[in-house]
Amino acid sequence: MDNQLKSKLTVIGFVAFVVTVYTASYFYTKSNNERLLASPRLVMLIGSEQEENRKFLNLTSSQRRDAVKLLHFQDKILIISQTEFENGMTDIAAQFADEINGQDYVIADCLDYSEKLDQPMIKDEKDALKASWIFSACGLTP
């Protein structure tokens, strides 16, 4: 009788463990997918790209992140999320035409940019890409 009780408890414990792991992985995956879908797909810099890249060149990664957050707060960097892009909002310039007001602007596709970063290249070229405004702007999270 004692052996049957141990067997039942072992089975119940195993089932509880499997259900717990499954539930935790479901919520982790769901949260991660929501975060990825909310991340930028298209980013637009209002102003001179060369000027911003010169400013970013000598900054650390955390300083670049802070600078991009400030530019985003000042509406100098505008984003369209992956979800908005999939829902048909593919023209960021038309979407934010009133913010542009005849100023220079640059548009970058974060998906193309990440594919470019994955390609083999010289370390200096990769460092220059990572030092650009696009690298930090594509990492903005809402």
Cα 129 to Cα 111: distance, rounded to the nearest angstrom? 14
Give helix 123-130 / helix 110-118 axis angle, nearest 10°. Answer: 160
CA distance 61 to 43: 18
Give the number of residues written for the chain: 142
Minimal CA–CA distance to 36: which of 82, 78, 72?
Answer: 82
Angle, in degrees to the nearest 10, between helices 49-57 and 61-73: 140
pLDDT tens-digit series, residues 68-85: 899 989 989 999 988 899
Q: Does 51 or 129 have the greater pLDDT score? A: 51
pLDDT exceeds 90 at position 18: yes
Cα–Cα distance, 102 to 99 (Å, whole number) = 9
* Mean pLDDT taken over the chain: 86
40, 77 Cβ separation under 8 angstroms: no
pLDDT tens digits, 87-122: 998 899 988 888 888 889 999 998 888 888 888 888
The pLDDT value recorded for residue 1 is 59
pLDDT given at position 136: 85
Alpha helices in 39-122 (DSSP H): 49-57, 61-73, 82-86, 92-95, 97-100, 110-118
Dist. CA 40–CA 61, nearest whole Å: 18
In this prediction, what percent of the chain has a pLDDT beyond 70? 98
Residue 19: pLDDT over 90: yes
Q: Which run of H or E residues covers position 41? A: strand 40-46
pTM as predicted: 0.72
